[in-house]
Amino acid sequence: LRYVERRNIEVSEDFANTKDIGYNNTVDLFHKNALFRERKGVGDIDLVRSKWKKLQALLETQEKPKMTEDELRQMWDDLYEEALKIPNMSHPESPKGPEENAKVMASWDERREGNFLTAEKLVQPWRSLFYPTDVSGERSYAFVGALANLERVILEYVFDRVCVLGFKPVCVPDLVAKEVTEACGVSQRTQKDIQYSLQDEPDVALSGTAEMGISALLRNKVFDEEQLPLRVVAMSRCYRPEVSNSAVETKLYRVHEFTKVEMYVMCTPEQSEAELDYLVQIQKGTFESFGLHCRQLEMPTEELGAPAARKIDIEAWMPGRQIYGEVSSASNCTDYQARRLGSFLPYSLDSF
């Protein structure tokens, strides 16, 4: 199945075969039932098959379909909507199962033990940290003076460190069409909100990461293979409605908005594994420069979400909380997002 535009589907010969609707080759490779179970039940291949068979039977009938053009279009839209929910294939290196099955790939610097203060308690004498919950709600915070300067310096240090490596700096909007966030793999699978929506603009969301805004810039473009990989870096505000019931994931650890430096690479399939490794090495070098004890994890299938084929997280030891906490994540989404964004080869990058 290859997606062409919002209202159309180009169907391969395999997909058009009623015995094999195209997904079978992929699904058999990764054991159909296990694939979706491992990805927390994302997508329903049987439902896609059923909708396609109904459409195929209707289109192959010798008589004129007894439905309006709008009804036929709605059937295509329903098929397309379900097909978009099918997750990416998992990388062979990805452990199967939940978060606890993550595999430690490496660790560096010394783990500090002892009676350490949390970051929030450490900076209390600075009088720089405030929690304006009366106006901004739970898990909100404000930096004043020293902490505001510290955050700015750290962000600029990381941003400049990446720019020096040749990444193109961009500034992206915080408001993004949901059509773009869905193309990036954000899908509502439970009653819990996974992104903030605007009350008067239900088709617009607050961006959860600069990845969304960058993807919008690259949407519906065809790239020149010789000019790839395209490496981009952005610094933006990120908005997340997610919450945690953990006693240690409080205060500054799990918040609804924060500023993040995002690295983003558009590349060929042959370059993708090397580019993922390059991103991880940049992240690792950055944390080493801060003298942080970290561990690098190969994340299991249930932590990949729909778009990622492989995800590598880095967690730092937080001595005040006595836990490892995620400080960066890098994913190889293969062509999952590119297909949904309509990004292909070739195209001149001069206009970007």
Q: Write the pLDDT tens digit of every residue in 84-123.
A: 888 898 999 999 999 999 999 999 999 988 899 999 999 9
Which amino acids are annotated as binding site for ATP, given as ranges? 240-242, 255-258, 326-329
Percent of the chain with pLDDT over 90: 60
Q: Residues 193-218: what's their mean pLDDT?
A: 93
112, 28: one domain: no
Residue (of 217, 214, 208) closest to 305 by Cα position:
208
Q: Choose one of 41, 56, 83: the last residue of a domain.
A: 83
Give the model's pLDDT for residue 343. 87
pLDDT tens digits along 262-292: 999 999 999 999 999 999 999 999 999 999 9
154, 119: one domain: yes
Please list the residues that pair with 313 across neighbouring strands.
297, 329
CATH of the domain at 293: 3.30.930.10
pLDDT tens digits along 304-334: 989 999 999 999 999 999 999 999 999 999 9
pLDDT tens digits along 37-56: 566 566 788 888 899 998 88
Per the domain annotation, does 212 fall within a domain? yes
207, 315: one domain: yes
Please list the residues that pair with 103 across neighbouring strands.
298
| 43: number of Cβ within 10 Å | 21
Strands (E), 131-288: 142-143, 168-170, 175-177, 204-206, 230-239, 257-266
User: What is the average pLDDT score of the chain?
Assistant: 85
Cβ atoms 237, 174 nearer than 8 A: yes
243, 287: one domain: yes
Residues 6+ apart with CB under 8 A from 93: 298, 310
With cut-offs at 50, 70 and 90, classify the pLDDT of residue 224. Answer: confident
Q: Residues 194-218: what's their mean pLDDT?
A: 94
266, 331: one domain: yes
46, 120: one domain: no
Angle at 313 between CA 311 and CA 316, to 5 degrees: 175
230, 117: one domain: yes
Which amino acids are annotated as binding site for L-serine, given as ranges? 209, 240, 262
Q: How far is the C-alpha of 296 from the C-alpha of 103, rounded, in Å? A: 8
Give the model's pLDDT for residue 350. 56
The total number of structural domains in the chain stands at: 2
Amino acid at 279: L
Give the model's pLDDT for residue 3. 25
Domain of residue 113 covers 99-351
Q: How far is the C-alpha of 213 from the C-alpha of 142, rounded, in Å? A: 25
106, 205: one domain: yes
53, 195: one domain: no
Element (H, E) at 293: none
With cut-offs at 50, 70 and 90, classify the pLDDT of residue 16. Answer: very low
Q: How far is the C-alpha of 217 from the C-alpha of 123, rounded, in Å? A: 39
Which amino acids are annotated as binding site, given as ranges? 209, 240-242, 255-258, 262, 326-329
Amino acid at 210: A
Per the domain annotation, does 303 fall within a domain? yes
Q: Choose one of 83, 115, 147: the last residue of a domain.
A: 83
With cut-offs at 50, 70 and 90, classify the pLDDT of residue 36. Answer: low
